[in-house]
Amino acid sequence: MRRVKLDKIDRRILRDLQEDGRMTNVELARRAGISAPPCLRRVRALEEAQYIRGYHADINPEAMGYGVTVFAQVGLSSQAEADLRSFEDLVNTWPLVRECHMLAGETDFLLKIVAEDWDSYQRFLTTQLTAAPNVSHVKSALAIRTGKLLPGVPIDVDGDE
């Protein structure tokens, strides 16, 4: 992985792509104040350096029939590295789990889970999550609404290089 030193143009490209990943290279170049060929080279360098991990569509969960979002705090019986990795590997096989974060503190993992309804979540909870090896406890928090949902990170275009 080649590291790229980010200048103002790179940060502008990253900010604009983060806001609209479908933006054409011509529009991206126009906004960055450069021509299209060097813009495309910069984007490819940012991808290669893994500043850009990928592109995706932002799908509306409710439109797809997933009306429930739950944040599950999972505690494991063992925090040995092999057991932590084993749990993460298992989580990666569960499509309903959309995010998995290992935490420091009382909770070992925080999972973001989507389900069609509360009953579907409870089935997942009892047949898969709490039944998983090494899981000692789970605390579920039902999301009532989302007040803010911004992907990525804040990008200060005029910040220090």
Query: What pLDDT is recorded for position 113?
Result: 98
- pTM, full prediction: 0.87
Mean pLDDT of 17-25: 96
Q: Contacts by 42-49 with C-beta closer than 8 Å and gap 24+?
A: 42/9, 42/10, 42/13, 43/13, 43/17, 45/2, 45/4, 46/4, 46/10, 46/13, 46/14, 48/1, 48/2, 48/4, 49/1, 49/2, 49/3, 49/4
Work out the average pLDDT over 80-104.
98
What dihedral do alpha carbons 47, 53, 56, 62 form, nearest 10°?
-160
Residue 111, burial from CB neighbour count under 10 angstroms (0-12, 13-18, 19+): buried
Tokens of 71: 């944040």
Task: Assess whether pLDDT exceeds 80 at residue 138.
Answer: yes
Give mean pLDDT, residues 64-71: 98
pLDDT at 159 exceeding the cut of 80: no
State which H helix or E strand residue 37 sits in.
Answer: helix 36-48
The whole-number pLDDT of residue 2 equals 60
Question: What are the tens digits of pLDDT across the range 148-157?
Answer: 999 899 999 9
Domains of the chain (ranges; CATH) run 8-48 (1.10.10.10), 68-142 (3.30.70.920)
